[in-house]
Structure 1
Amino acid sequence: MTQPSPYATPKTSLTDPQAQVTDEQIAALEVSDTWKKRFSALNRAGGPKMPNLKQLSKAERRQIGAFNILAFLFGPLYYITKGMWRKALSLFAVCAAVAITVGLVMEHFGYGEFTRALSYGLAAVFAARANIDYYKKMLLNDNGWW
């Protein structure tokens, strides 16, 4: 009875992908030194979910750069230039759906002038996710839809 069940879910090495990333892999990437520093800091923080973020110094936290100004300004176009077109499409679709829905609701209740501010919040979604998504693409080979 020590034989594995053929009906069991197969075991994968994807359970902890950030443990597989090494400093040598980061150094071998064909990206700028700024991105290598960000990737190294993200790796020390524990990967995309950043469970060890509070253990990093303030300087290391700044290296991660939680807010990407180019992604804020250009949104989906920035993602497309970085080769993350699937995430650009999915984030754009979700943001457009949220903007339309919230805009209609706000207009219905007479607060239509506040919907313009919503566009800044939606641009911030791209800015906040850009560095983590690029890390996932370059080091974890995760260039999926979400």
Structure 2
Amino acid sequence: MATPPDFADLPQAWQPRFAFFHAHGPTSTPQGREAYRALPFGTKLRIGTNFLAFLFGPIYFFIKGIWRKGLTLLGIGVALGALAYGVELPELVDRAINFVVPAIAMSTANYAYYLHVMRNSESWNPFEGQGRRAS
């Protein structure tokens, strides 16, 4: 049996995230979802969300070295902005569109960074590995 990797060289905040992803995969898989549900609320927040990614969006991805996924998020934001500008939408929907890219960034940043560090991912897909059949 292979020994698990040592995450001691990572910052303290990333060690439990990486250990969880290494043991269970992303939280979207059945195994990951089951393990995620068993965690205390605060640990769930730290593993499943990233508030810096919510606040800074694609810029956070660029800083962490996941620039391809950051460019994809930026493209999604520009496309949604152009759509909202070109189509007459109710004010509530128009405001809700402003939270789409930050919400995607917040929910995908941790696993995307794990893939970047552990598997040297060069994918442009911010949802890489997030499906039910995640590798």
TM-score, normalization by structure 1: 0.69
Percent identical residues: 29
Cα displacement string for residues 7-27 of structure 1 (whole angstroms, at most 9, x for unaligned residues): xxxxxxxxxxxxx8x522x42
The partner residue of 1:142 within 106, 121, 126 is: 121
Point out where structure 2 has 5 or more consecutive residues left out of the alignment: 126-135
CA distance in 2, matches of 1:145, 1:123: 17
Summarize the Cα distance change of 1:77–1:103 in structure 2 as closer, same or farther, 3 Å threshold: same
The structure in which a higher percent of residues are helix is 1
State the 1:87 CA deviation. 1.0
Partner residue, 1:59: 40
Residue 74 of structure 2 corresponds to residue 92 of structure 1: yes
CA distance in 2, matches of 1:47, 1:112: 35
State the 1:102 CA deviation. 4.2
Higher relative contact order (CA 8 A, sep 6+): 2
CA distance in 2, matches of 1:70, 1:36: 17
User: What's the Cα RMSD here?
Assistant: 2.6
TM-score, normalization by structure 2: 0.74
State the 1:143 CA deviation. 2.6
Structure 1 stretches of 4+ moved >6 Å: none
**Letter of the structure 1 residue corresponding to residue 62 of structure 2:** I
State the 1:37 CA deviation. 0.8
- Determine helix, strand or coil for the equivalent of 1:27: coil
CA distance in 1, matches of 2:85, 2:48: 27
Partner residue, 2:7: 27
State the 1:64 CA deviation. 5.5
State the 1:62 CA deviation. 1.5
For the Cα contact (< 8 Å) 1:79–1:88, is it kept in 2?
A: yes
> How many aligned positions are there?
121
| Correspondence list, 1:1-146, <5 A | 23-24=4-5, 26-27=6-7, 30-47=9-26, 50-56=29-35, 57-59=38-40, 62=44, 65-105=47-87, 107=88, 110-112=89-91, 114-146=93-125
State the 1:100 CA deviation. 2.2
For the Cα contact (< 8 Å) 1:76–1:89, is it kept in 2?
A: yes
State the 1:46 CA deviation. 2.6
State the 1:31 CA deviation. 1.6
State the 1:101 CA deviation. 1.8
